[in-house]
Amino acid sequence: AQRIAIMGAMDEEIELLKGQLENKEEIEKNGIIFYTGKLKNKEVVLLKAGIGKVNAAYSTAILTTHFKLNALIFTGVAGGLHPDILPGDIVIADSLVQYDFGQLQNDEFITWPTRNLIKNTKNPVFLSVDSTLLHTSKIVSNTIQLKAFKNRVPKFYIGTIATGDTFVSDAMKAKALYSNFNALATEMEGAAVAQICTMLNLPYIVIRSCSDNANTDAHTDYFKFVEIAAVNSAQMVLALLENT
């Protein structure tokens, strides 16, 4: 039977979904624990990938080796880059980019295309998410009611997410990612998963909620808001599953 994979990087990001899994079963493969069961009447497999691009890529490889999937949804927290984004806001990726894959020359960093291994396919810098999952996510974002946080209902953004192996807590770097890639948020796994899904022809989407603004306050904000952000992202995933 085919399943929808749901991946997060950390325990907080899969906790709510794990708690709601019906007929939950646990199975370990190559050091990754997979939780199978039903969410919103859909057969799913849930896993924690670990932090960063290598862990994300490894987990996606092990996942796709052991499970027949028809889609992958990544859920978790991110650092907001768009100046209006506040903690708790949701960013739905329509494309992802690895901002740290490329060439450094004369103080200038040039991003390289992802160089996927499949011949005769495009090697884009920006990897597009599945159009059906994106379409459904847009519809869901207009109907879902997330809990107000500090008297403000979370806002939804759709656009690029920039991925790299760095926790960004630097306003200059955040600004550069926003202006160089027009990225709304930054995190450490999305584009790695996106590249593998692209190579395997597996439909995917990345949904994130912001725990911080990737600036000097990012570390303190992260610890204050990681839980609320992780829950918001998971709620969005549940609504997406319900409508998929």
List the catalytic residues: 13, 212
Q: Tell whether residue 154 is a contact of ligand ADE (CB under 6 A).
A: no
Query: Which residue lies nearer to ligand ADE by CB, 27 or 54?
Result: 54
Identified binder of ligand ADE from the candidate list 44, 129, 161, 218, rule CB under 6 A: 218
Query: Which residue lies nearer to ligand ADE by CB, 75 or 136?
Result: 75
Q: Which residues pair with 104 in a beta bridge?
A: 109
Q: Give kind and range of the element (H or E) at residue 111.
A: strand 108-111
Q: Tell whether residue 214 is a contact of ligand ADE (CB under 6 A).
A: yes
The minimum distance between CB 125 and ligand ADE, in angstroms, equals: 19
Q: Which residue has the tokens 């990938």?
A: 49
Cα–Cα separations (whole angstroms), residue 6 to 39, 94, 95? 10, 17, 18
CA angle (48 as vertex; 139, 67 as ends), nearest 5: 80
The minimum distance between CB 34 and ligand ADE, in angstroms, equals: 23
Q: Tell whether residue 13 is a contact of ligand ADE (CB under 6 A).
A: no
Residues sharing a CB contact under 8 Å with residue 140, sequence separation 6 or more, in sequence order = 236, 239, 240, 243
Q: Tell whether residue 212 is a contact of ligand ADE (CB under 6 A).
A: yes
Q: Tell whether residue 186 is a contact of ligand ADE (CB under 6 A).
A: yes
Determine how many CB atoms are found less than 10 A away from the CB of residue 194. 29
Q: Residues interacting with ligand ADE, by CB under 6 A? A: 77-79, 167-169, 186-188, 211-212, 214, 218, 222
